[in-house]
Amino acid sequence: MIRPPIAALKTSILLLLAASVLSAAGIFWSHRQDADARADLQGQQAALGAAHARQQQGQTEARLIAQHLDAYHALIARGFVGEENRLAWIEAVHLANQDARLYGLTYTLSPRTAAPAALAGGLPLKQTRMVLKMPLLVETDLPRFLDALRVRAPGLFRVSSCRLARLSDAPPQPVNRPELDAECELQWFTVATDTDTGTMR
């Protein structure tokens, strides 16, 4: 029986094993590089998609701004957007009192506070409480005053409540003398803005 020349083949076998190990390492490295390249490509595609989405959102916002810019400026001019214009509100209630041919009034204004979240609807809506007290001749004087105020109002307001009370228990006199006292609570609404940039905050 003839033995194979192991000693002579030893070097060839070692070279073959080394080549196999190197080939396997090369295949593993190639697969790893391919996976990394695919992951990098997916990341770049995701970043590109996000950039496109931001660009489209910016274009949509620019169109909306251009579409509503005139209305926004009209709200600023009306006194709804920006700082509260207390002097204009005071002037409006006095002029409405004159328009309704009433007998004067007194008022108190509270500091501006945040409007209830349910009313604000996500806007930075603020409200300022105004309490009006005025003498009236008859009950119908009050709706006449409120109608005149809606015409005069430089902004948006809501009547929260009104209360009427008689000034005395004496029977009404046949002269134009106030017999009633009215007290109304109004809320003036404004949308606060960043005064430095002119944008809503």
Same domain, 156 and 122: yes
Cβ atoms within 10 Å of 137's Cβ, excluding its own: 16
What share of the chain has pLDDT > 70, as a percent?
Answer: 77
Same domain, 94 and 168: yes
Model pTM score: 0.61
Q: Is residue 161 part of a domain?
A: yes
Q: Which residue reads 């810019």 in tokens?
A: 69
Has residue 197 got a pLDDT over 50?
no
Helices (H), the chain: 6-78, 86-99, 117-120, 141-152
Question: Which residue, of 29, 62, 78, is where some domain finishes?
Answer: 78
71 is written with which tokens? 């209305």
Q: How confident is the model over 187-196, as a mean pLDDT?
A: 78
Same domain, 72 and 121: no
Q: Say how far apart CA 128 and CA 19 lie, in whole Å.
A: 85
Q: Give Cβ neighbours of residue 201 (< 8 Å, ≥ 6 apart).
A: 124, 192, 193, 194
29-43, 100-114, 147-161, range with the lowest pLDDT: 29-43
- The pLDDT score that the predictor gives to residue 193 is 77
The range of the structural domain enclosing residue 148 comes to: 86-194
Has residue 7 got a pLDDT over 70?
no
Has residue 21 got a pLDDT over 90?
no
CATH code for the domain of 96: 3.30.70.60
Mean pLDDT score of the chain, rounded to an integer? Answer: 82
Question: Which residue, of 78, 100, 122, is where some domain finishes?
Answer: 78
Is residue 174 within 8 Å of 196, Cβ to Cβ?
no
N-to-C CA span, the chain:
98
Q: Indicate the number of domains in the chain.
A: 2
Question: Which residue, of 39, 62, 78, is where some domain finishes?
Answer: 78
Range ranked top by mean pLDDT from 11-25, 32-46, 170-184? 32-46
Q: Is residue 128 part of a domain?
A: yes
- The pLDDT score that the predictor gives to residue 5 is 62
Query: Which one-letter DSSP state was computed for residue 81?
Result: B
- The pLDDT score that the predictor gives to residue 29 is 83
Has residue 189 got a pLDDT over 90?
yes
